Structures are given as C-alpha cells and as structure tokens.
Structure 1
Amino acid sequence: MDEWIDYYGSTHTIYVSRLHRDLHFEVIARDIIGYITSPDAVVLDYACGEALSAAKVADACAILYLAEPAPSVRDRLIARFALNTKIRVRSLDELRSMDENSVDLVVMNGVAQYMTPEELDSAFDAIRQLLKPSGRFVLGDNLPPGVGMFRDVLALLRFAATHAFLRDALIGLINTALSDYPQLRHRIGLQRYSETEMITKLGAAGFKATRAPRNTGYNPWRMTFVAHN
C-alpha cells in the first residue's frame, strides 16, 4: 500500500478537474451521512483522503475521526478543519491507541483495492476493536473481478455528463493515460474480491456482513458491504 499512499499524497491526475474532485467528495459525504443513525454517533472515516466535505458529515454526528495514512494529506486535513471541534485527524497507527468499543460507524471507502490481503486483514482487526457491539462497518467502493478500467471510465463519463464537466473528463482521461497512474496500476495491481470472497474475508475477521443494494459513490459496478460484530 505504501506506493499508493505516496501516489495519493502527491499531485496526481485522478480527478479531472476541481469540480470532479469536489463532487466526488460530496457524493461520498452524502452516502456516509446516510449510514449515520444518530446525531450522537462517533464516526470514523478510515483512509479518508482529502475528505473535502467532511464538515457535512461532522454536522450529522457528534465526533468524526478522519484517519489518513499519507502525512501530506493529514497535514492538509489538520489545516482545513482546524476550527471544527467535531473533527479529529489521526494517522492509522494512532487508531491503535483509541478506546475499544468507542465508535458507532466506521467507513472505509475505495481503499481495499490498494491493500494487500494481509494489510486488509490487519485493518479489519483494528476496526473491529474500535466498533461498539451495536456499531456498523461500511466497506465501500470495492472492485469485483471482471470490472476493469473501462467500467471506471464509463462511470466517470456518466457522472461528468450529469454534472456538466464532460469536456474536462475527456481531457482528464487523456492526462491520466499519459501519467504514471496506468503504469502504477499495472505494476502493483489492484485487489479484487467477489461478493462471496469479501463476505468470507469479513467473516474470518469476526464480522457478519451483507452486500448493500447500492454502492457508495458514483460507480454502480463496484460493491459496498455493511458489516457488524
């Protein structure tokens, strides 16, 4: 995962425009809020990225932890939300020192594909320790076998057409194709799990999980799972 952490901590071309980036995080925030059942909830966004719309999530809960592995991204999160008393930024290592059974909802969105199976197992163990007995773990935007870059591109183009940045999307896709992202994706690879494989993997970590009827984010070909202790 280290090379992916370095990539997302750098100036990259994953987002084709500022509008795309902003809308991406707005959609994720909206979907996270949909899983918050109480304004008193403690929420953890695991490997959250830039989390530009985290303030909206924080408005819907009592405390929002933003856990991010990339130091440069963490620094930006700390600066961005310095005045928001509900938001607390942590490294992934710092989660180990949090109280057990202290979090109502954990969300890990669009992250599992960048982890080795062993790294994902370790993350599941850490998350399970943090969750309250009544808590939920939402594992979103997972890549199933057979869904490749073509479907990612199609999902982006549909999203761009809906939100009027199709021209930027087309230009951005060319820029991404010419960047180091395709080579990195080919060299390191992305982890893919079928529905049965992910439910089994979550079960081995002590979770009871089901596939959600709708994926988080704007890619309908990916999968989201909802798990609890």
Structure 2
Amino acid sequence: MVSSWREFWDRDTPIYVNARHKARHYAGLAEEIAALVPHPGAVVLDHGCGEALSADRVAESCGRLLLCDASPRQRDALGQRFAASPTIAILSPDDVAALPAASLDLVVANSLAQYLTVSELDACLRDWRRLLKPGGRLVLADVIPPQLGAVADATALLAFARREGFLVAAAVGLVRTLFSDYRALRRTLGLARSDEAAMLARLRETGFRAERLPRNLGHNQGRMAFSAWA
C-alpha cells in the first residue's frame, strides 16, 4: 500500500483502463496544449506531464518543450521516448526551480493542483510567476471544485469512453478502481479542492492577472481551468 500521491504516481496505476484510454487522453491533451502555444518559437513547460505520450505534437508547435514530472520512473521513460527529439527536454521539479527568470512563454499544469499540498502549490505558483516572461501565460487546469465527487468523475469518464470507443473497458476499470490504492488514497489523503473565487484570489496574490477559462482541458468539464498572465 502506497502512502503518498508522489509514490502512487511513480508506478503503474489503474487510472487508465486500457491502452486506448491512455492514448486518447494524451492525444487530446496534446492538441489542446498545442492550441495554447502563443508563437512557433515559444518555450513551453508542461509541469506534471505524466507519460506525455503525444508530447511530440506539442513540440511541433513551439520552439522548445520542457516536460517536468516528479516521478523518476516517468522521467526515465520520457527520456527514452523522446531521446531523438532535440527540442524536448526532461526536467525534475528541482530542475524547473533552477531555470532562469523570465525564460518561459507558457506554463501548463494540468491535473496537478489536486495532488499538491497548499504549500507545494504556492511554491509552484511563485516559481511559475518568476519563470514566465512579461506577458507569459500559465494555464492551471483540472482544478477540482469542492462539490464535485467521485460519481461525477466516473460519469465524465464513461461519456469520454463512449465517444472514444472503450466503454466496456471503462466500466470494468471503474470497478477495479474501487479496490485500488487510488481509491484508498483518495479517501485517506484526499484531493485538494478549490472554488473559483479562492483560486482566482490565490493566483492574483502571487502576482498574476487571472480568469477562469470557459472550458477545462481534457474530458472532465466538471473541473475547472484558469488562465493567468505574468
């Protein structure tokens, strides 16, 4: 039994019900991130990137793509996957913190905030604000509002699975998740949540100009995304 979210994400997880689910998740997310890139020469950071299976699609739209994940296992896999790409670099969180100020045009942090403590998220916000160029943009996505529960997440997954052709696998996967470490950790550690006003206030306190986006990144539109400018 794992004891922390970081330990959970450093191994195989039951989050993706099959290979198609994982592939379609990352392909769709890459298209959404690519659409956020402000210009072809932009330096982009995907913080908390996970497996980033389609990161090469994002790299096509920018000058340099930095992929950051806290999991050493994920970083090793990313390094092997994108070893032949000269415009993709793999970083640890400490590597990100050591980047020079005003060196990034876009930071995307999708499905990250819910796994961080208050102090960890605040530290990330300060780092991202320092690293963004004047006018640079942070997109903080998949933020969970207080009222959203596991049933809503399951409903959103089933709708996505129906569209993408893995509905049966998704139904089986949801049952498997009931008995997994993910459900146990969600019960014991919980997921960090924030309402819209509190997250906007937090971003503004860090020095950003911020607003909620009309759509979240990814399939779960019960969750929220925020755009913030340095």
Give the shorter-chain TM-score range. over 0.9
Q: How many residues align?
A: 228
Structure 1 residues 52-74: Cα deviation after superposition (integer angstroms, max 9, x where no partner): 11000000000000011110000
Residue 121 of structure 2 is matched in structure 1 by 120
2:216 corresponds to = 215
State the Cα distance separating 1:179 from its structure 2 match. 1.1
Q: Which letter does structure 2 place at the counterpart of 1:47?
A: G
Alignment of 1:32-47 (within 5 A): 32-47=33-48
Query: Match of 2:93, as an amino acid?
Result: L
TM-score by length of 1: 0.98
Q: Describe the superposition over 1:70-106 as per-residue Cα deviations: whole angstroms up to 9, x where unpaired.
A: 1000000001000000100000001122111010000
Q: What letter matches 1:72 in structure 2?
A: R
Question: Are the equivalent residues in 1 in contact too, given 2:38–2:105 (CA < 8 A)?
Answer: no
Task: Answer yes or no: is 1:85 the counterpart of 2:83.
Answer: no
1:54 alignment partner in structure 2: 55
1:2-151 residue pairs with structure 2 within 5 A?
3-151=4-152
How far apart are the structure 2 equivalents of 1:4 and 1:30? 27
Q: Secondary structure at the match of 1:66?
A: strand
**Residue identity opposite 2:62 in structure 1:** C
Q: Unaligned stretches of 5+ in structure 1? A: none
Q: Distance in 2 between matches of 1:10 and 1:199?
A: 33
Q: Which runs of no fewer than 5 residues in structure 2 stay unpaired?
A: none
Displacement after TM superposition at 1:185 (Å) = 0.5
- In structure 1, how many angstroms separate the alpha carbons of the residues matched to 2:6 and 2:24? 22
Question: CA–CA distance in 2 between the matches of 1:188 and 1:178?
Answer: 16
Partner AA of 2:16 in structure 1: Y
Runs (4+) of structure 1 exceeding 3 A deviation are none
Deviation at residue 45 of structure 1 after TM alignment: 0.3
- Work out whether residues 17 and 170 of structure 2, in 8 Å CA contact, stay in contact via their aligned partners in 1: yes
TM-score (norm 2): 0.97
Show the 5 A alignment for 1:135-174: 135-174=136-175
CA distance in 2, matches of 1:47, 1:220: 20
CA distance in 2, matches of 1:152, 1:78: 31
Letter of the 2:148 partner, please give it.
V
Whole-Å separation in 1 of the counterparts to 2:78 and 2:217: 22
* Percentage of matched positions with identical amino acids: 43
Q: For 1:95 and 1:181, how far apart are their aligned partners in 2?
A: 27
Q: Which amino acid aligns with 1:25?
A: Y
